[in-house]
Amino acid sequence: MKFGSAPITGRNQLQWVVLLAIAVVLPTVSLLWFMSRAVSNERLVIREKLAAIYQDKLALACQKTAETCAANISAIDKTELTANPYSFFKQLALEHNFEGVVALDSKSVVVYPVMGDIISDTTQQDNAFAVARQLEFTGRQYAEAAESYGRFAAAKDPQIAIAAIMGKSRCLAKIGRLDEAIEECQKAAFTPSEEKTNTVLLVAVQNARLLLLDLLRQAGAKSRAELAERTANALIADLYIAPKMPSSRNFFIAEKVLDAIREMPFLEGKTKLAKETLAKLAAAEGLSISVAENASLIRTLTDRPPDTFFRAGAGYGLYRKTQSTALLILFSNNGIASVLASYEDTFKNSDSAYRIVDASGDFVAGLAKPTGRPFATASLADCFPGWKVELYFKGGEIFDKAADRQIAIYIWTGTLVILLILVVGAFAARAIGRQIRLNKMKNDFIATVSHELKTPLSSMRVLVDTLLEGNIKDETQTEEYLRMTARENERLSRMIDNFLTFSRMERNKKAFEIVPANPVAIANDAAEVVRTKYATHKCQFTTDITSKLPEIAADHDAMVTVVVNLLDNACKYTGEHKQVSLKVFAEKDYVCFAVSDNGIGIARRHIRKIFDSFYQVDNSLARKAEGCGLGLSIVKFIVDAHKGKISVDSKPGKGSTFTVRLPIGRNNKNGNSAHN
**Taking the complete model, does pTM exceed 0.85, yes or no?**
no
For the ranges 184-193, 416-425, 430-439, the one whose mean pLDDT is highest: 184-193
Per-residue pLDDT tens over the stretch 53-64: 777 888 888 888
At residue 368, does pLDDT exceed 70?
yes
pLDDT for the residue 663: 93
Task: Give backbone dihedrals phi and psi of 115, rounded to 5 degrees, phi first.
Answer: -95, 165
Per-residue pLDDT tens over the stretch 245-290: 888 888 998 999 999 888 888 888 888 888 898 888 888 888 888 8
Per-residue pLDDT tens over the stretch 438-476: 666 666 566 656 655 665 676 677 667 777 777 777 777
pLDDT for the residue 255: 92
pLDDT for the residue 174: 92
Looking at per-residue pLDDT, the higher value among 398 and 462 belongs to 462
pLDDT for the residue 521: 92
Distance of CA 244 to the CA centre of its chain: 53
Going along 25-156, which residue ranges are E strands? Answer: 101-104, 110-112
Contact 624, 640 (CB under 8 A): no
Query: Where are the chain's structural domains?
Result: 51-114+304-393, 127-280, 510-675
**Rounded to whole angstroms, how far apart are CA atoms 125 and 144?**
18
What CATH number matches the domain at 510-675, 3.40.50.300, 3.30.565.10, 3.40.50.2300, 3.30.70.890?
3.30.565.10
Is the bond preceding residue 243 a cis peptide, omega within 30 degrees?
Answer: no
Name the residue type at position 580.
V
At residue 622, does pLDDT exceed 50?
no
- Say if residue 511 is exposed, middle or buried (CB neighbours under 10 Å; 0-12, 13-18, 19+): middle
The string of DSSP codes covering 124-163 is HHHHHTHHHHIIIIIS--HHHHHHHHHTTTT-SSHHHHHH
**Rounded to whole angstroms, how far apart are CA atoms 603 and 382?**
81
pLDDT for the residue 628: 59
For the ranges 191-205, 453-467, 563-577, the one whose mean pLDDT is highest: 563-577
Per-residue pLDDT tens over the stretch 336-358: 888 888 888 888 877 788 889 98
Specify the CATH architecture of the domain 127-280.
Answer: Alpha Horseshoe (1.25)
**Rounded to whole angstroms, how far apart are CA atoms 527 and 555?**
17
Closest CA to 347 of 676, 54, 23, 31: 54
**3-state SS of 329-346?**
EEECHHHHHHHCHHHHHH
